[in-house]
Structure 1
Amino acid sequence: MTVDQPVLMSVEGNIATLTLNRPEKLNALNYNLIDTFQEHLDAIERDDSIRVIILTGSGKAFSAGADIAGFSSSVAAGVNIAMREFVGRGQAFTKRVENFPKPIIAAVNGLAFGGGCEVVEACPLAISSDEARFAKPEINLGFPPPFGGTQRLPRHIGRKRALQLILTGDSISAQEAARIGLINEVVSASQLMIRARELAARIIQKPPAAVRASLASVTRGINLSIDEGLAVEANQFAQMVPTRDIREGIDAFLERRPAHFNGQ
C-alpha cells in the first residue's frame, strides 16, 4: 500500500477501513478513485474474515463530491459519453455501496458535498464528526445530483427537506444532518474513528448471515410496497432457518446463557 493510492485500505481484526485519499482535492471522486474503491470492495467481499467496513476520508474532507475537472470532458463529449462514463459509473458506485452484503459505516470526518453526500446516503450507517458539513451543490453547476441523490435523499429525510437542499445547494451542519435522519449520530472529531470501531465491534458480535439478511431485507424492501417488502423479509428469514447460528441463538435465549455464533 502506498500513500499515493486514491483509496487506502487497512485491516484490523474483522474490520476493514477504506480511506478516500486525495486530500489535495478534498477527496473528490474521480474515475480512478471510483474504480479503485470498487476493486477494494471486490476483495473485501471475497474475504470472509472481514465483517464490517469503515469508510472515511483523509485530510479535512470526507469528499467534496465528483471531480469537476475530470468529468467535464465526459459532459463535453455528449450525452452518450456523459451517461456511460460519469452518471453510469457514479450510480454503479453508490448502488454497490448501498447493496454491499457487509455493513459499511461512513465515518464522516469533514465536508461531504455532492457525490460525497451521495456516498453517505448510500451507506447503511453513518457517524459524523461535529466539524462535518453536508450539501447538495450540483444545482450550482447546472444539473441535478446524478449519483442517486435525487432518489436516496428524499427516502432518508422526506421530499420537502430533500428538495430544499437540492434546489438551494445550501450546506447543513452535522447536528442538522442527524436531526433530519441523514446520519445516525454526531461525535467530536477526536472520537469519530473510536466510535465507528465501537459500532463495528458490536455488529461483529452478531451472526454474519443474520447481518447480511437484515441488510438485504431493509435495502431491497424499502422501495417496495409493504406486501412485497414482507415477502423479501420472509425470504431472508427462510434462508436463516437451516443455519446453526439461529439454533444457537434460540437455545442460548431459552437456556439463559450468552450465544456463541460461529457464522454457520
Structure 2
Amino acid sequence: MTATPTSPPAEGCIDTQVLDHVLLIGINRPAKRNGWTPPMFRQLAEAYTRLDDDPNLRVGVLHAFGDHFTAGLDLPAVTEYMKRGEKAIPAGLVEPHDFGLPDYRRRTKPMVVAVKGICFTVGIELMLGADIVVAADNCRFSQMEVQRGIMATGGATLRMAERAGVGNAMLHLLTADEFDSAEAYRLHFVQKVVPAGQELDAALAIAQRIAAQAPLAVVATRLNVIKAVEQGPLAAVSEFIETQKRLSNSEDAAEGVRSFVERRPARFSGR
C-alpha cells in the first residue's frame, strides 16, 4: 500500500492515517532524508499517545515517506536542546523510546516498524523501542553518535546489548560502522527482511493480524513480555493468575469461546 503524505513544513512533521484498527504513523521530511527536529519528536509522541488513548486503535505502524527511514538527528536543530539538557517531548505524553521515565507514559499497544534505505542513529533506537521490525533489503544501519562527539541516548546502549550481546553492541556503538539488513537480522534488531518496496505492506499485514486478535489479551501479553525482560521471569510469572482471571472474565474471552464452538472468526470488541 502507499500511505498519503501531507506537504511537510521545513522542519518536517509526523503524519497519521487510520486503516480500520491500525494507526499509520509517517515520518515526513523526505527532502532532508527525514532528519529529526524537535517538532517531529513532539508530534511523534502525540501520535503514540493517540494510539494508546483511542479505544478503536489497536496497533501502530511507524514508517517513513521518501527513499529513507531517517538519516538521524538534524544536529543543528537539536544541539541547543542537548546543551541545555532539554527534552523535546512534553511531559505526560507516551515516550516513543519506551523507557518508563518519570513524567512520561509508557506505550501499552503494539508498534510495528517498517524501515528502508538509510536508518541511522535515532532510527535504530526507535525501531528497537518498538515491538516488531520489518526491514527492506536495501537498509543501511549505523549508530554513529561517537563520530559526532555525542552518545546514543535513545536506547541503543541498552537494547543493542539486550538483543545481540555486549560484544556485538560494542562493535557497532564504538566503531560507528555501517551494517546491512542481513546483519541487523542476525543481531535480532529486525524480525523480517523483505525486498525493498514491500516493507510497509509486510508491516501492515503483521499489524492487521495482531489487530484481529483480542485487544485486551494482546496488551496483557505484550506487557508481560516487557516485564519479563525488564524485571525478570519471576516478576512476569507473578502476574499470570490475576491477569488470566481478569481476561477470562472479559467479553472478548466469552466471544473467543463462542467463536471456537461455532467455528467462525471471532469478533472482538476490546471489552
Q: Same fold (TM over 0.5)?
A: yes
Are 1:94 and 2:97 matched, yes or no?
A: yes
Deviations along 1:64-102, one digit per CA (max 9) or x if unpaired, are: 2222111222344xxxx22x336999x943127994222
Residue 222 of structure 1: which of 218, 226, 229 is its match? 229
Letter in 1 for 2:152: P
- Stretches of structure 2 that go unaligned for 5 or more consecutive residues are none
Alignment-derived partner of residue 112 in structure 1:
119
Residue 203 of structure 1: which of 207, 210, 215 is its match? 210
Q: 1:41 to 1:87 in 2, by over 3 A?
A: closer
Q: 1:3 to 1:87 in 2, by over 3 A?
A: closer
Deviations along 1:185-230, one digit per CA (max 9) or x if unpaired, are: 1001222122112111211211010111111111222121221221
Deviations along 1:231-263, one digit per CA (max 9) or x if unpaired, are: 24444333312112223334554x372352322
Q: 1:259 to 1:59 in 2, by over 3 A?
A: closer
Contact 1:220–1:232 at 8 Å: present in 2 too? Answer: no
Q: Which runs of 4+ in 1 moved over 6 A?
A: 86-89
Residue 85 of structure 1: which of 81, 84, 87 is its match? 87
Which structure has greater helix proportion? Answer: 1
Letter in 2 for 1:262: F
TM-score (norm 2): 0.86
Letter in 2 for 1:196: A
Letter in 1 for 2:67: K
Letter in 1 for 2:52: E
Alpha-carbon separation, structure 2, partners of 1:100 and 1:75: 24
Letter in 2 for 1:246: A
Alignment-derived partner of residue 122 in structure 1:
129
Alpha-carbon separation, structure 1, partners of 2:33 and 2:198: 21
Alpha-carbon separation, structure 1, partners of 2:203 and 2:237: 31
Alpha-carbon separation, structure 1, partners of 2:250 and 2:89: 40
- Stretches of structure 1 that go unaligned for 5 or more consecutive residues are none
Alignment-derived partner of residue 261 in structure 1:
267
Letter in 2 for 1:85: K
Letter in 2 for 1:3: S
What is the deviation of 1:2? Answer: 3.7
Percent of pairs with identical residues = 23
TM-score (norm 1): 0.88
Alpha-carbon separation, structure 2, partners of 1:226 and 1:53: 27
Aligned length: 257
Alignment-derived partner of residue 166 in structure 1:
173
Residue 190 of structure 2: which of 183, 186, 195 is its match? 183
Contact 2:38–2:77 at 8 Å: present in 1 too? Answer: yes
Q: What SS is found at the alignment partner of 1:229?
A: helix
Q: What SS is found at the alignment partner of 1:95?
A: coil
CA RMSD of the aligned region, Å?
2.5
